Amino acid sequence: MEINLKMDFLSDWIEHLTQQLFSLGYTPDESPNKISIQYFNLLKRGVTLTPRRIYFSKEFSCPEGYKEGLRILIHKIEKGESLAAHLSKNINKLEYKDPLLNDWNIHHLHLGTEADKTGFIKRTGPLLFVRFEREEAYFLNTFNHGSWNDLDIVRIIHNNWPQIIDRYRIDAVCSSPAIKTNEQVKEVRKMRSVGFIEPYPGVVYMPIGMGMTTSGHSIEVVRISDFYYDHIKGLEDIVREEFATIVETSENKGIKIISDLKFQLIFKNGTVKAYDKQYNITLDFGELP
């Protein structure tokens, strides 16, 4: 009797991401191709709950009247607490694409001290611009609302912590003119293009946040989405390659297989397993990357 293998791990993966988005209060797109991008775009726009050491630039200053809001943010960042209330209210829009974040990997946080009726910290004119790394938070400066295209953002990082953007620096001569003004930054982002930036004469960087695709999404988000697509497809390949061994091992354990095996991916606590309900067979793939 021929025993077949049935599975659709990609559908299981998309269903998992869909449920994750629903649990966070979002209604994802019905298109499977978009759900993964929406999910990882949302993750990028947030800030992971990790305690971080804070570094202040030499240029840093905070206007009078906003220092208590700054103190609150410092406390939350050092303790690894949620910063959701300080983010743009556009975080409620699943499809929103943040050009400053996607292009240069810079978050902007509101410096208010009290929440409004929506749960967000009351909006402020001056904003704290921060670059978050895994265990560090680099406080660039306070900027006025709308300063998304200001090349001073890149200059401050270059002047204070060039090591965190060194991998984006271009030593060779560029074949196309580099961006040298704030207006040029704005125009390139409007066209959803990728441009080299020249904060100082002879100092040229690729986009220090990897830049944007023509859809406006972060290139980093698209790459992560593609990585997991390939990873999940790879799990299917493993099961196909080991199918005969799985059947033999199961029967050696006294499980008589007389019909098709139907595996479904199960995600729990950061781990992933394939499970056949009829025969109670579990394949453990360990932690998700």
pLDDT at 177: 83
Query: What pLDDT band is residue 29 in, cutting at 50, 70 and 90?
Result: confident
- 219-241 helix and 9-23 helix, angle to the nearest 10 degrees: 140
- Rounded to two decimals, the pTM is 0.92
H-assigned helices in 80-127: 99-104
Between 193 and 100, the more confident residue is 100
What burial letters (b/e) apply to 157-187, b meaning 16+ CB within 10 Å? bbebbeebbeebeeeeeeeeebbeeeebbee
pLDDT tens column, 122-135: 999 999 999 999 99
Query: Cα 273 to the chain's mean position, in Å?
Result: 24
pLDDT at 175: 57
pLDDT at 2: 82
Q: What is the mean pLDDT of residues 276-283?
A: 96
Q: What is the mean pLDDT of residues 67-79?
A: 98
Question: Contact 24/41 with Cβ under 8 angstroms?
Answer: no
Which residues have CB under 8 Å from 134's CB, separation 6+? 50
Mean pLDDT of the chain: 95
Around Cβ 78, how many Cβ atoms within 10 Å?
13
- Nearest by Cα to 188 from 220, 216, 222: 216
Query: What pLDDT band is residue 250 in, cutting at 50, 70 and 90?
Result: very high
> Rounded to an integer, what distance in angstroms lies between the CA atom of residue 271 and that of residue 289?
9
What token pair was written down for 93? 């829009």
Query: Cα 231 to the chain's mean position, in Å?
Result: 17
Give residue 80's region: left, alpha or beta (phi > 0; psi -120 to 50): left
Cα–Cα separations (whole angstroms), residue 87 to 130, 173, 285: 12, 38, 36
- Nearest by Cα to 110 from 144, 78, 149: 144
Which residues have CB under 8 Å from 83's CB, separation 6+? 46, 47, 73, 76, 77, 109
Segment among 93-107, 164-178, 179-193 with least mean pLDDT: 164-178
Around Cβ 264, how many Cβ atoms within 10 Å?
16
> Rounded to an integer, what distance in angstroms lies between the CA atom of residue 222 and that of residue 239?
26
pLDDT tens column, 204-241: 999 999 999 999 999 999 999 999 999 999 999 999 99
Q: What is the mean pLDDT of residues 11-30?
A: 94
Between 172 and 277, the more confident residue is 277
Segment among 124-138, 146-160, 174-188, 252-266 with least mean pLDDT: 174-188
Place of tokens 């074949």: 175
Query: What pLDDT band is residue 194 in, cutting at 50, 70 and 90?
Result: confident
121 DSSP 8-state letter: B
- Nearest by Cα to 235 from 260, 277, 265: 265
Q: Indicate if the pLDDT at residue 171 is higher than 90.
A: no
> Rounded to an integer, what distance in angstroms lies between the CA atom of residue 51 and that of residue 75?
10
3-state secondary structure of 247: helix
Percent of the chain with pLDDT over 70: 98
pLDDT at 174: 59
Question: Contact 31/216 with Cβ under 8 angstroms?
Answer: no
